[in-house]
């Protein structure tokens, strides 16, 4: 690639730092940018804290590139945090990373990069962008356990044409080896885990700290309606959860349903947390010419319903209002409203949508 101006989204971790160093070594004009998403007094630790800004700035100094911080606090609250809180209030389980990628990183930050005269915005995501038959495709990373395409399904060709994912063809081990070889200060830094904007990394601690979430006692019931115990807030539970239920039944129990209006959590055996059919909403496609968006047609597809699940065979059909019905060949564990369902063909991401409803026969 000829010399380009490239903005790198720097989080202060080893991945984005390695991306910036690799591109600088290739001779590109590299600029590091870090997003401020929260008031730093509200974010102690994690990738939304002041610590990550300091790490990113020091890394940029070591690499020899300029570094800037852009304040997207208001936009992050509007597009990500408010949705996160609302979903927990309604008994759903949100994925803030998808919305942050869609509305903040690959919209606002991408626009800011273009305003700086950049040719590309590069990130440390584990994913690949390839051109096939004249169109750009989003593909799974070589290091499948690290693949992040589940969180990137809202990208379209328009964004892909301005993005670089330099780590998509590398394993995490190879990235750390490269970082060590370049003597980068972040080479041994541990990966961030948990909810990035929660001070302790625990989503429940974050919710309880907010005035709109109160520990209101309610019933934990069996699928047959028998009262098995008490809870201190439905927002503390997610479908498929086993640990921390505080009940003893003589066998493992799992959350099967959450009803905020009745302040009730329903639990059942492992067999009760599997489902085969769901309704998805707000379905979007990476390529505008995707052949799966015709109403009334049924398509075979691979679908993934959790970031750490493997994709599974399913039948897909579009309905009105950009929604879809997805029926799996084999029952899936913990189908959960609020999560995403992402569609694949081999290693190519076709698109995805939000799980609105799980249908039980």
Q: Residue 132: which pLDDT band, with cuts at 50, 70 and 90?
A: confident
pLDDT score for 201: 64
CATH domain 5-181 topology: Rossmann fold (3.40.50)
pLDDT at 48: 61
- Its pTM stands at 0.92
Higher pLDDT, 28 or 209: 28
Q: What is the mean pLDDT of the chain?
A: 91
Domain boundaries, the chain: 5-181, 214-268, 273-359
Highest averaged pLDDT of the listed ranges 18-27, 51-60, 186-195, 304-313: 18-27
pLDDT at position 205, please?
77
CA angle 345, 98, 122 (to 5 degrees): 85
Catalytic residues: 100, 196
Q: What angle do CA 171, 174, 178 make, to 5 degrees?
A: 140
**What span, in angstroms and rounded, lies between the C-alpha atoms of 322 and 201?**
34
**Band (249; pLDDT cuts 50, 70, 90):** confident
Q: Is pLDDT above 70 for 49? A: no
Query: Per-residue pLDDT averaged across 307-334, rounded?
Result: 91
**pLDDT tier for residue 346 given thresholds of 50, 70 and 90:** very high
pLDDT digits (tens, 9 = 90+) for 53-68: 999 999 999 999 999 9
pLDDT at 44 over 60: no
Architecture of domain 214-268: Roll (2.30)
- The residue among 126, 122, 120 whose CA lies nearest residue 149 is 126
Distance of alpha carbon 118 from alpha carbon 29, whole angstroms: 9
Q: Report the CATH number of the 273-359 domain.
A: 2.40.30.10
State the pLDDT at residue 356: 94
Q: What is the DSSP letter of 119?
A: S
């Amino acid at each position: 690639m000829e010399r380009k101006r490239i903005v790198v989204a720097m989080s202060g971790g080893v991945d984005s730092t390695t991306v910036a160093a690799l591109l600088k070594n290739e001779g590109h004009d590299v600029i590091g940018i870090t997003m401020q998403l929260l008031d730093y007094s509200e974010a102690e630790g994690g990738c939304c804290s002041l610590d990550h800004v300091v790490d990113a700035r020091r890394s940029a100094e070591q690499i020899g590139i300029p570094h800037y911080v852009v304040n997207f606090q208001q936009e992050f609250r509007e597009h990500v945090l408010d949705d996160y809180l609302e979903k927990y209030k309604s008994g759903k389980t949100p994925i803030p990373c998808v919305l942050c990628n869609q509305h903040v990183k690959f919209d606002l930050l991408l626009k800011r990069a273009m305003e700086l005269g950049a040719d590309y915005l590069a990130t440390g995501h584990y994913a690949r962008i390839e051109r096939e038959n004249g169109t750009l495709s989003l593909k799974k990373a070589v290091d499948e356990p690290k693949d992040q395409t589940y969180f990137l399904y809202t990208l379209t060709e328009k964004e892909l044409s301005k993005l670089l994912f330099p780590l998509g063809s590398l394993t995490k081990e190879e990235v750390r080896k490269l970082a060590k070889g370049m003597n980068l200060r972040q080479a041994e830094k541990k990966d961030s885990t948990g909810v990035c904007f929660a001070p302790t990394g625990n989503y429940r601690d974050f919710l309880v700290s907010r005035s709109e979430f109160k520990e209101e006692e309610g019933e934990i019931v069996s699928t047959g309606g028998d009262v098995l115990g008490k809870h201190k807030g439905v927002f503390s539970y997610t479908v498929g959860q086993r640990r921390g239920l505080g009940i003893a039944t003589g066998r493992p129990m799992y959350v099967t349903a959450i009803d905020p209006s009745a302040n009730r959590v329903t639990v059942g055996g492992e067999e009760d947390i599997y489902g085969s059919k769901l309704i998805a909403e707000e379905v979007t496609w990476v390529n505008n010419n995707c052949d799966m968006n015709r109403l009334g047609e049924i398509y075979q597809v691979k679908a993934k319903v959790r970031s750490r699940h493997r994709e599974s065979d399913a039948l897909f059909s579009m309905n009105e209002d950009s929604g879809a019905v997805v029926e799996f060949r084999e029952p899936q564990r913990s189908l959960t409203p609020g999560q995403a369902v992402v569609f694949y063909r081999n290693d190519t991401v076709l698109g995805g949508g939000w799980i609105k409803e799980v249908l039980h026969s």
